């Protein structure tokens, strides 16, 4: 029986917007490296495939009025964090976000090729076009480029990235002391890329990765995002509110692969999942509600404003969500949130509470059996290849997942009982990609 894949989405005190106010949260977690070591080691105890950190290029992660209520506007830079976590972990994949709007492909290629070499083939990069437009102001740009242009850049960026990672063949470095030949010329490949957005000569000044290439992840759910994933990514993160949405996403994304000469299994689909689990349903609900009660209304309204793309900050949280247009530029979830609120006749408070734990990813609150039932149902009905676990609160809710849900998944034989591979690519069950310059030989 195939096993599901699990990723851990890290964030200092958790993904619930009020997590840092919880009595058990380590409120210094945004700067305390030891907390991240604990998260990574707990994930390895649960045999996770990878840990992932998102990233943005601005401290303005919510609407101005509630910025000082947010715990992750200032914390550790994720790539440096991953590099530092490497010697504290042995098996788990190390993944973080890089932006095609603000980072240079040569730099990103070097960084992840290096992380791959020092971690023994465990690196991966989540390619995003960056949703938060204010980042542009930190990168000498007056405004964020429109979304179609951002995806056009992203497409070329990924092409350059892959080309650079194919700069060297695996056996290029012969290190022959007798003849004073460190590498073979014919195993080194120039890129000479001259495109619309990038001009990159190459080769990359880092050798080939132990897993062929670092893993590429994509996290945009729009048509352009799905297409980019189908063309080049190894994993796509999704955000689905229920199994039907996840199945539609799964079917659509997998069906796009064949036109790029790829098999459906070459791209793993991992929707986000937030779990609050306890021995009894009542206990799990009590724990979940404790977090909900900690949301300051100003923070809730600011969070909602940024996610939906309309300003609710001056509004009464107990008013019904008004009729609004979706704002495509903030992402595919704007329309989904408005639609859900209108359908259920929710107030603004109900809407922000609904999204506060996991920003539109699936939320489960229940016993290990109940949680495993749903995970198994999604996994065996082509809704996913696994999940990206989004704990609402560190360390409590992630510890509970590893201690209670992981054994249940193992007992059902849908999850590994030991690490079966060394590289992230092996863990994910992905083939080593063909080297571009040698594929016709």
- Least separation in angstroms between residue 354's CB and ligand FMN is 17
Please identify, using beta-carbon distances, which residue of 73 and 132 lies nearer to ligand FMN.
132
- Closest by Cα among 439, 124, 3 to 261: 439
- Least separation in angstroms between residue 348's CB and ligand FMN is 22
Is residue 331 involved in binding ligand FMN (CB under 6 A)?
Answer: yes
Beta carbons of 113 and 209 less than 8 angstroms apart: yes
User: What is the per-residue binding string for ligand FMN in 246-275, x denoting contact by CB under 6 A?
Assistant: --------------------------x---
Residue keyed to tokens 């070329």 = 156
Q: Report how far residue 28's alpha carbon sits from residue 394's, in angstroms, rounded to the nearest whole number.
A: 12
Q: If binding means CB under 6 A, how many residues of this protein chain bind ligand FMN?
A: 21
**C-alpha distance across the termini of the chain, in Å:** 36
Is residue 220 involved in binding ligand FMN (CB under 6 A)?
Answer: yes
In the list 79, 157, 237, 378, the residue contacting ligand FMN (rule: CB under 6 A) is 237
Please identify, using beta-carbon distances, which residue of 168 and 401 lies nearer to ligand FMN.
401
- Least separation in angstroms between residue 316's CB and ligand FMN is 29
Is residue 124 involved in binding ligand FMN (CB under 6 A)?
Answer: no
Chain positions 345 to 384 lying near ligand FMN, rule: CB under 6 A, are none
Residue keyed to tokens 């940024």 = 306
Burial of 27 (0-12, 13-18, 19+ CB in 10 A): middle
Q: Report how far residue 269's alpha carbon sits from residue 234's, in angstroms, rounded to the nearest whole number.
A: 9
Please identify, using beta-carbon distances, which residue of 114 and 222 lies nearer to ligand FMN.
222
DSSP 318: T
User: What is the per-residue binding string for ligand FMN in 128-147, x denoting contact by CB under 6 A?
Assistant: xxxxx---------------
Q: Report how far residue 326's alpha carbon sits from residue 331's, in angstroms, rounded to the nearest whole number.
A: 9
User: What is the per-residue binding string for ligand FMN in 171-200, x denoting contact by CB under 6 A?
Assistant: ------------------------------
Which residues neighbour 284 within 8 Å (Cβ) at sequence distance 6 or greater?
276, 277, 278, 365, 366, 367
Which region among 126-134, 304-312, 336-344, 423-431 touches ligand FMN (by CB under 6 A)?
Answer: 126-134
Is residue 152 involved in binding ligand FMN (CB under 6 A)?
Answer: no
Spell out a b/e string for 340-375, using b for 16 or more CB atoms within 10 Å of the CB, else e.
bbeeeebbbbebbbbbbbbbbbbbbbbbbebbbebb
Beta carbons of 244 and 332 less than 8 angstroms apart: no
Chain positions 84 to 103 lying near ligand FMN, rule: CB under 6 A, are 97
**Contacts of the segment 329-334: beta carbons below 8 A, 24+ positions apart:** 329/133, 329/146, 329/147, 330/131, 330/306, 331/131, 331/220, 331/221, 331/222, 332/220, 332/221, 332/222, 332/225, 333/221, 333/239, 333/307, 333/359, 333/360, 334/307, 334/308, 334/309
CA geometry: angle at 343 spanning 342 and 349, to 5°?
Answer: 50
In the list 388, 392, 423, 437, the residue contacting ligand FMN (rule: CB under 6 A) is 388
Which region among 218-226, 277-285, 301-309, 412-420 touches ligand FMN (by CB under 6 A)?
Answer: 218-226
Is residue 55 involved in binding ligand FMN (CB under 6 A)?
Answer: yes
User: What is the per-residue binding string for ligand FMN in 274-293, x denoting contact by CB under 6 A?
Assistant: --------------------
Which region among 79-87, 110-118, 213-221, 276-284 touches ligand FMN (by CB under 6 A)?
Answer: 213-221
Residues engaged in binding ligand FMN (CB under 6 A): 54-56, 97, 126, 128-132, 219-222, 225, 237, 239, 272, 331-332, 388
């Amino acid at each position: 029986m195939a096993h599901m894949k699990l990723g851990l989405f890290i964030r200092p005190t958790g993904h619930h917007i009020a997590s840092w106010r919880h009595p058990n949260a380590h409120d210094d977690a945004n700067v305390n490296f030891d907390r991240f070591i604990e998260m990574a080691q707990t994930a390895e105890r649960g045999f996770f495939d990878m840990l992932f950190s998102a990233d943005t290029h601005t401290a303005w992660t919510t609407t101005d009025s509630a910025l000082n209520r947010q715990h992750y506007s200032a914390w550790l830079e994720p790539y440096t964090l991953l590099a530092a976590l490497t010697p504290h972990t042995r098996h788990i994949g190390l993944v973080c976000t890089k932006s095609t709007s603000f980072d240079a492909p040569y730099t990103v290629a070097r960084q992840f090729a290096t992380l791959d070499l020092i971690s023994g083939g465990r690196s991966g990069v989540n390619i995003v076009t960056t949703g938060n437009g204010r980042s542009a102001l930190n990168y000498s740009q007056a405004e964020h480029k429109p979304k179609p242009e951002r995806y056009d850049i992203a497409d070329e960026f990924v092409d350059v990235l892959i080309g650079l990672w194919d700069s060297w063949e695996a056996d290029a470095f012969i290190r022959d002391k007798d003849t004073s030949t460190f590498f073979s010329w014919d195993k080194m490949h120039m890129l000479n890329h001259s495109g619309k957005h990038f001009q990159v000569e190459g080769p990359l000044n880092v050798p080939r990765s132990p897993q062929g290439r670092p893993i590429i992840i994509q996290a945009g759910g729009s048509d352009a995002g799905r297409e980019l994933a189908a063309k080049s990514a190894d994993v796509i993160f999704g955000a689905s509110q229920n199994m039907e949405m996840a199945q539609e996403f799964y079917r659509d994304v997998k069906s796009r692969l064949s036109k790029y000469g790829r098999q459906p299994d070459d791209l793993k689909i991992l929707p986000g999942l937030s779990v609050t689990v306890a021995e009894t349903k009542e206990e799990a609900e009590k724990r979940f509600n404790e977090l909900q009660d900690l949301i300051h209304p100003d923070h809730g309204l600011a969070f909602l404003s940024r996610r939906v793309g309309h300003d609710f900050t001056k509004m009464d949280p107990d008013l019904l969500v008004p009729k609004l247009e979706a704002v495509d530029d903030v992402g595919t979830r704007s329309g989904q949130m408005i639609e859900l609120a209108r359908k259920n006749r929710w107030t603004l408070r109900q809407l922000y509470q609904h999204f506060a734990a996991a920003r539109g990813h699936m939320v489960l609150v229940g016993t290990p059996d109940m949680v495993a039932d749903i995970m198994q149902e999604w996994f065996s009905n082509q809704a996913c290849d696994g999940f990206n676990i989004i704990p609402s609160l560190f360390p409590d809710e992630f510890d509970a997942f590893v201690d209670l849900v992981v054994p249940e998944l193992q007992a059902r034989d849908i999850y590994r009982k030991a690490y079966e591979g060394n590289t992230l690519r092996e863990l994910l069950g992905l083939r080593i990609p063909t080297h571009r310059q040698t594929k016709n030989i």
